[in-house]
Structure 1
Amino acid sequence: MKSMSLKAAVRDAVKIFQFDNWIRFYYIKSDGDSMTVEIPVDVLQRIEKEYPSLHTLADTMCGDIDYQKSHDIVCAHVAAHLDGAKYDTSVMPRVFDSPQFKIEMYVFNMWMKMHEPYLDEEVLFFSDWEEMWEEWNKLDEVRQYREKLVQSGQDPQSPSCDTVQ
């Protein structure tokens, strides 16, 4: 039986989008007007070992990339690995409209902007990002800010996957 948990689906979708951000943060190379994703073989091997469910996403992103292609790859990954596979087909379309997803992505993007100088110092592995993100989320200020967003009913901007239906 497929899960009906919106909360778990939001968590899984957010992780996929965070992983996409991590890849684009470190592994996009620009050559004039074109961009490519170049993930070293050793990093791909480590992803396959530590994040097997995300390995195909990383592998598929390698090569020429633009915003639309990145968006399509991420949404296809969500569709293939979550929508109907892990969660009932009624769950994932609700995820991207949910305040929980929008707030989590908004707060994550804020975290990235605030930590960009540190993240830029050296190439960190995705597990390092996850650990830093989790520790930051434990701060009282962050919990209070998230609660204010929930209570205010604000609709922060977030990525969407309208292809997942």
Structure 2
Amino acid sequence: MASTYEDLHNAALLRELEVGDLVEFPRALYSHWGVYIGNQHIVHLTGVDGAGSMDALTSGSLFSVCGVTFDKAWVKIEDFFKVAKGCQAKRNNGKDHVCRPLHPHEIVKRAKKMVGEIGYNVLWYNCEHFAAFLRYDRKWSEQVDKAAETAVWGGALVAGIGTAIGLFASTSKNKNK
């Protein structure tokens, strides 16, 4: 069986990972996150098979995979290559500069205790929040922070453009009188 570039990249990364490392799995529009717990295993928060309804659209607890929405997810321990399939995974302990990681033994112990069904909210408790919680005892998603910042700046830009157009229209109207 021929190996893809992603397979070779991920095999090299796997050899470098240490227990407790955060692993980012870049996808098309977002990154999935997990924690390496040794023996080629990742613990991560993932969708509940077969669950979900349109009610989740208004529940405030949104999780969507291929258009199916969920408000629950599973903490699973899975093979690194299964989680990494189709992407180039990367170690991303970037939050270490702000948060102090827990001891690797504590991370694994906490991860194993959490396996099973759990609540999910794309804004308040997603896979990145979960992974950060395991490593740092702090729920934090930079993806959500960046999306919120983009929304605020986008809203400010639209408001600014609207104000400028209104002022221009008002000035033009006054000149024509």
Q: Same-fold call, TM > 0.5?
A: no
**TM-score under structure 1 length normalisation:** 0.28
**TM-score under structure 2 length normalisation:** 0.26
Higher relative contact order (CA 8 A, sep 6+): 1
The structure having more radius of gyration, on CA atoms, is 2
Structure richer in helix, relative to its length: 1
